[in-house]
Structure formats: structure tokens, C-alpha cells
Amino acid sequence: MHRPVSLVTGGAGFLGSHLCDRLLAEGHFVIAMDNLLTGTVDNIAHLAGHERFRFIKHNVTEFIFLAGPVDYVFHFASPASPVDYLELPIQTLKVGSLGTLNTLGLAKAKRAKYILASTSECYGDPLQHPQREDYWGNVNPIGPRGVYDEAKRFAEAMTMAYHRVHGVDTRVVRIFNTYGPRMRLRDGRVVPAFISQALRGEPLTVFGDGKQTRSFCYVSDLIDGIYRLSQCDFHEPVNIGNPTEFTILEFAHLVRELTGSRSEIVFKPLPQDDPKQRRPDITRARTLLGWEPKVDLPTGIRLTIEYFRQKLQTTGT
């Protein structure tokens, strides 16, 4: 029996590395590709020497050559936190445009299934709540966050064009806020920021009044949804995320409680174009994939705190 071969771009990143683990568990031969701009080999160190895993250091904005068959292309390469795409705006645009073009070209040549990691940022600062896949979004194309939002919107358009024109077997997953082990400490997103601040006894920084909401999905739930989508015959975008909504202030109190920290909470001005509400409508994922999140926030946050605690002890930063 043919063993499926999967390429995961961004395979040394937070989500990409967890996806590699899941695909290996499902019996795939996995090729992880990453230029290590925001990813790190630490995330895949446990896979070194695995007979069904190989790592290629490569920038997907350059032509991709792979010998032999490829059955799945998971395009997960991209800076994915505001800190990264504000520092790396052109690289973010290039991986969403040229990287998507190159990976789609590979999928077309290999007759592979193609799964694009898109984002809830496609909805911008949404005027519809919760966000359904048929909502077109409210995005500022020239704002500082526009480089990420528009790169992903372009990637979706390119993916659908390859599906319609070339018959490439495509999937689009719109990923909502996800957290868990292997996030970077200085990633700039709220989960690592609050946890590392609390563990160091530093003040927890809340932007705005803290009443803006987020919905947090634990990484194992997200990866399960993505894997199910890869096995399903549906081509339009599917939201994968946790619909349970928390205010940022509620989340700050939860992190403080679970870490046992005495950190105070301080307020700072809200960054430009920061979305005020973010919550997925997951009706489509429930109906098509039989998927819904299983890990509640306190459970997931405890596991993430444990990871960051060990990381802080080993790095000392």
C-alpha cells in the first residue's frame, strides 16, 4: 500500500510542527520545509532520526523542487504574529503570494491535495459577529496589519483560482486564535505575552480597556480539525477555532490565577486596527467534519504554562 507523502511548509513553526506530528501519527511520510525566519528546529528536534521524516531548509518564495510523489501539500509557511509581520512586512507579503504560487504549482505538478492555512484575519475588524465563512470582512488594506490580512486574502483567491482553472484539489482553513506548547515566548500574541509576564512576575499588559474579545483554541483541537478537513471533499473556506469567547481582561485574570502570580495588570493604548471581537461560527466544521473543540481554556492554559515554565528555566530568559 502506498504511504502518503505530505509536504508541510512552515514545518518548524508552532502549528506546522504539531501538524508534522499528527501526519506522522497517521502514517504519512512527512517533509517539513522551513527557512527558519520565525520557525525553529527546536520544534522538530524530537523528530530527528525518524525514518518517515525529513527536514529541508528552503524559502518557499523560491522555486520548490521535490523528487518523487507528493500526495498532500500543507502551506503553513508565514510569519503569523503581529510582532513578526510588523517587522517582516515584505517577507509576509511574499510568502502569501509567491509562496502560495510555488506551493500550488507543486501541488498541480504532483496532483497533490492542497491545504492552505488561512486566517481569521481575513475578516479584519469584523462587523459581523460571530464570523461565518460567507462574510467578506472589514480589512484596512494599507494599515500595518494589512500585509498579513491581504497576503492571506490573496492566497485564498489564488488557491480558488487554481482549483477552478487547473482542477487542483484544494482546501482552505481559516485558523482562529490558537495556543499551546511551542509558541515563542516573545511572539507578541496575548497567550505567550501574559504567561511569560506572569511567570516572571512582571505586570500583565492589557491593551485598550481589555473588553475586546478573543476565542482561544488549543493546538491539538485545531490540528484535528485541519487533518479532518484534509480528508474531506470540500473546497471553500472552513473556520477552525473555539467559539467560546473571553474578554482579554478575563483572560489576564485566568492566567494570573493559574500561574499563582501576583503580577499587577496594567493598561496600554490599543494598537491600530486591532480587532475588537473575534469569534468563529463553526457550523460548517461541525456539519462537514464532525469537528468541535474538546479542550477547555483552563486545561489548555495549564499545559501551556507548564511548557513555558520549562522553557524559561532552560533558557533563563
Which residues contact residue 120 at a Cβ distance below 8 angstroms, ignoring those fewer than 6 apart? Answer: 131, 174, 175, 176, 177, 239, 241, 278, 280
CA distances to 72, 106, 151, 248 from 62, in Å: 19, 12, 17, 39
3-state secondary structure 13-71: CHHHHHHHHHHHHCCCEEEEEECCCCCCHHHHHHHCCCCCEEEEECCCCCCCCCCCCCC
CA dist., res. 17 & res. 39, Å (int): 9
C-alpha cell at 305: 504554562
**Number of Cβ atoms within 10 Å of the Cβ of 122:** 23
Q: What is the CA radius of gyration of the chain?
A: 19
Is the dihedral angle over the CA atoms 72, 77, 82, 85 positive or is it negative?
negative
To the nearest 10 degrees (0 to 180), the angle between helices 297-315 and 248-259 is 60
Count CA within 13 A, CB hemisphere, residue 247: 10
* 273 touches 124 (CB < 8 A): yes
Which position among 85, 148, 179, 227 bears the catalytic label?
A: 148
C-alpha cell at 276: 475588537
148 classed as catalytic = yes
| Catalytic (active-site) positions | 148
